[in-house]
Amino acid sequence: MSLALFASDEHKVFELDFFQITQAGEPTHPSEPTLEFDPKSQTITSAKRSFTPFFQGKTLVSAIGNPLTLACFSFVPTIEPASVGNFTTQAEAARACEEKQPDFLIVSDDLAQGYATALIKEVKAASPKTKCLLFLYRETQEVVRDAINAGCEGVCFVSSIGMGKEGDFTKALLAVSQGSTYYPQEVKDKAGFALKPLPDLSAKELEVLKALCLGLPNKGIAERLFLSTETVKTHISNLISKFGVSDRTAVVVTALRCGF
């Protein structure tokens, strides 16, 4: 016997396999892929511990189209204290972000009304400090490119959720909360941007750019390249200038659009 939660007829969010009743030695749903979700498992417990600090002293707005999924998400103990608004539409979430200026916006691409990428663009204009993390049900090139072009700090596929500390949700939160970006390789591959010339960069600037695209924060870049954090800041400032953009997120987005 299992309990399944659905975002819509097309999108299964996750299935909770508490136990299965079998007949003649066969599982109840032999043809359906399942994602085991035991909240007391070591994998889930470890993941919750690892991302709990990300929300301490922070505020969060979530925008998810399916009301049941939104309710379940907003009542997660590690997320609930930071939550200042939970909505199913673009307009509601945009108003809340403008009013509350949250630290994070977590949004899915199945909004009941409006579009996730349009919401992110609105929020970036009205609340520049808000870090946006977008989860995609649709894994098409057009959707992925639109998500990257919207300028959100992190883009992940819903299909990657459920892998504990190794899943994209935890890694994305870590990167975004440290002021970096997160675009996993699967997202980059699906975007499939054609190679285009980059600005004239030094060898060290290229190394820093690669580290930025991997989602490393300044401290992580410094440790990886054996540089001081001040030197890393200088290289990032030079990259921003050479790419002609306003911040490090835009540097990463522009580099990805060049096929870097």
pTM score of the predicted model = 0.69
219 and 160 in a common domain? no
Find residue 89's DSSP bridge partners: 113
Q: Are residues 216 and 250 in the same domain?
A: yes
Q: Which domain holds residue 226?
A: 203-257
Task: Name the domain boundary from 140, 168, 191.
Answer: 191
Q: Are residues 183 and 226 in the same domain?
A: no
Q: Choose the final residue of a domain: 160, 191, 222.
A: 191
Same domain, 157 and 74: yes
- d(C-alpha 20, C-alpha 214), whole Å: 40
In a domain, 19, yes or no: no
DSSP H or E stretch at residue 165: none
Q: For the stretch 91-120, what's the b/e string if a residue is b when 16 or more beta carbons lie within 10 angstroms of its beta carbon?
A: ebbbebbeeebbbbbbbbbbbbebebbebb
Note whether 65 and 114 are same-domain residues. yes
Residues 183 and 210 in one domain: no
Contact indicator for 213, 255 with CB cutoff of 8 Å: yes
**Is residue 209 in a domain?**
yes
Same domain, 84 and 156: yes
Domain membership of residue 45 (yes or no) is no
To which H or E segment does residue 237 belong? helix 229-243
Query: So what's the pLDDT on residue 205?
Result: 93
Q: Is 31 domain-assigned?
A: no
Tell me the backbone φ, ψ of residue 125, rounded to 5 degrees.
-80, -40
- Our count of domains for the chain comes to 2
pLDDT of residue 42: 74
Q: For position 19, what pLDDT does the model report?
A: 27
pLDDT per residue of the chain (260 residues) written in tens, 0 to 9: 223 333 333 333 333 332 233 333 444 444 444 555 666 777 667 766 766 677 788 999 999 999 999 998 888 887 889 999 999 999 999 999 999 999 999 999 999 999 999 999 999 999 999 999 999 998 888 888 888 888 888 998 887 765 555 678 778 888 887 778 888 888 888 888 877 888 899 999 999 999 998 888 899 999 999 999 999 999 999 999 999 988 898 899 888 888 77
pLDDT for the residue numbered 3 = 31
| 30 is a domain residue | no
Q: What is the CATH number of the domain that holds 155?
A: 3.40.50.2300
Residues 56 and 140 both lie in one domain: yes
- Tell me: do 115 and 71 sit in the same domain: yes
Among 154, 170, 191, the domain-final residue is 191
pLDDT at position 225: 93
Same domain, 216 and 183: no
Long-range contacts of 30-36 (CB under 8 A, 24+ apart): 34/2, 35/162, 36/162
40 within a domain of the structure (yes/no): no
The answer to the question of residue 87 being in a domain is yes
Q: Are residues 156 and 227 in the same domain?
A: no
The CATH number assigned to the domain holding 220 equals: 1.10.10.10
From the list 156, 152, 161, 129, the residue with the least C-alpha distance to 59 is: 129
- pLDDT the model gives residue 165: 56
Tokens 């109840």 belong to which residue? Answer: 28
121 belongs to a structural domain: yes
